[in-house]
């Protein structure tokens, strides 16, 4: 297609239907077109329902509002790490915006979402990991993925996890979320054949060092098929699972 586009310009210039300046102008943008960036973005804008994502941390109410306004027409919008106070203000402008106080996630769902077949299992070690889990789950759902939530099944009480193993066995992707020693990722990784995305959380104290213990644990998982994202990065895990699921689904 790119080649056709260049051919076309060359021909038009030869035929005189565009001037030298016009041909030059058209070719000036080629490097970027050819890089494919703009095209991809264009495609995205065309497909309704594919959400745009705003990282809310460190942004002011006004900044978030402005970006939302520019996006809402052509896609659903996901804003992560939104403090409750910011949401209150934004709600006045976008009354239809949903907000999860647990996940600190705000969602503007103006466009229908097409649900993919299969599901992603989101598993947590404890109830304190649920905030991160919900960030992942809500991200997944907005991207059109079904989510099975399997919460509070930490390895200290193995029967809780094993009781839910059917859900794990049939997932397209499993997201394993745990703080403290993060052993959940290894145990889940040993149970399933699906790719496992491990999310260390900052849940813990003392020598958990804000999630470092779980992070190292997960990076050193003795089970194969496990990869890791940043501490507390529920969105990142959800986004990656969505990408994998999209590849699977299509």
What residues between 170 and 229 interact with a second copy by CB under 8 A?
172-173, 180-183, 185-187, 189-191, 193-195, 197, 200, 202-229
Scan for tokens 């989101």, then name that residue.
122
Bridge-based pairing of strands 98-100 and 105-108 is antiparallel
Nearest CB to a second copy, comparing residues 28 and 92: 28
- Rounded Cα gap, residues 186 and 195, in angstroms: 12
- Rounded Cα gap, residues 25 and 249, in angstroms: 40
Residues 230-249, interacting with a second copy (CB under 8 A): 230-233, 235-237, 239-240, 243-244, 246-248
| Site for a second copy contains 126 (CB under 8 A) | yes
Residues 133-152, interacting with a second copy (CB under 8 A): none
Residues in the chain, overall count: 250
CB of 245 to a second copy, least distance (A): 9
- With beta carbons less than 8 A apart as the criterion, state whether 139 and 202 touch: no
Angle value at C-alpha 174, between 168 and 178, nearest 5 degrees: 100
CB of 50 to a second copy, least distance (A): 11
Scan for tokens 């907005």, then name that residue.
142
Task: Say how many C-beta atoms besides its own lie within 10 A of residue 221's C-beta.
Answer: 22
Residues 9-48, interacting with a second copy (CB under 8 A): 10, 13-14, 20, 23-24, 27, 30-32, 34-38, 40
Stretch that binds a second copy, among 69-77, 90-98, 140-148, 157-165 (CB under 8 A): 157-165
Which of 128, 146, 148, 167 touches a second copy (CB under 8 A)?
128
Residues 65-104, interacting with a second copy (CB under 8 A): none
Nearest CB to a second copy, comparing residues 112 and 193: 193
Residues in CB range of 170: below 8 A, 6 or more apart:
119
What the block records as the tokens of 71 is 């996006």
Task: Say how many C-beta atoms besides its own lie within 10 A of residue 67's C-beta.
Answer: 16
Which of 86, 155, 176, 177 touches a second copy (CB under 8 A)?
155
CB of 76 to a second copy, least distance (A): 16
Contacts with a second copy by CB under 8 A: the residue count is 97
CB of 100 to a second copy, least distance (A): 16
Calculated CA dihedral for residues 236, 242, 246, 249, nearest 10 degrees:
150
Nearest CB to a second copy, comparing residues 108 and 188: 188
Bridge-based pairing of strands 98-100 and 146-150 is unpaired
Nearest CB to a second copy, comparing residues 93 and 157: 157
């Amino acid at each position: 297609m790119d080649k056709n586009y260049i051919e076309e310009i060359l021909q038009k210039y030869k035929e005189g239907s565009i001037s030298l300046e016009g041909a030059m102008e058209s070719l000036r943008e080629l490097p970027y077109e050819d890089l494919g960036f703009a095209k991809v973005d264009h495609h995205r804008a065309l497909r309704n329902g594919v959400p745009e994502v705003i990282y809310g941390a460190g942004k002011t109410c006004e900044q978030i509002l402005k970006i939302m306004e520019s996006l809402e027409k052509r896609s659903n919008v996901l804003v992560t790490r939104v403090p409750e106070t910011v949401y209150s203000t934004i709600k006045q402008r976008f009354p239809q915006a949903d907000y999860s106080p647990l996940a600190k996630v705000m969602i503007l769902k103006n466009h229908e979402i097409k649900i993919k077949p299969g599901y992603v299992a989101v598993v947590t070690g404890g109830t304190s990991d649920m905030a991160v889990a919900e960030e992942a789950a809500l991200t997944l759902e907005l991207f059109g993925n079904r989510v099975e939530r399997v919460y509070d099944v930490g390895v200290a009480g193995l029967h809780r996890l094993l009781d839910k193993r059917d859900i794990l066995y049939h997932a397209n992707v499993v997201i394993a979320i745990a703080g403290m020693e993060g052993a959940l990722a290894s145990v889940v990784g040993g149970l399933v054949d699906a790719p496992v995305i491990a999310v260390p959380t900052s849940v813990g104290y003392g020598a958990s060092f804000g999630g470092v213990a779980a992070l190292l644990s997960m990076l050193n998982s003795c089970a194969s098929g496990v990869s890791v994202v940043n501490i507390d990065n529920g969105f990142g895990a959800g986004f990656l699972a969505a990408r994998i699921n999209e590849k699977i689904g299509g």
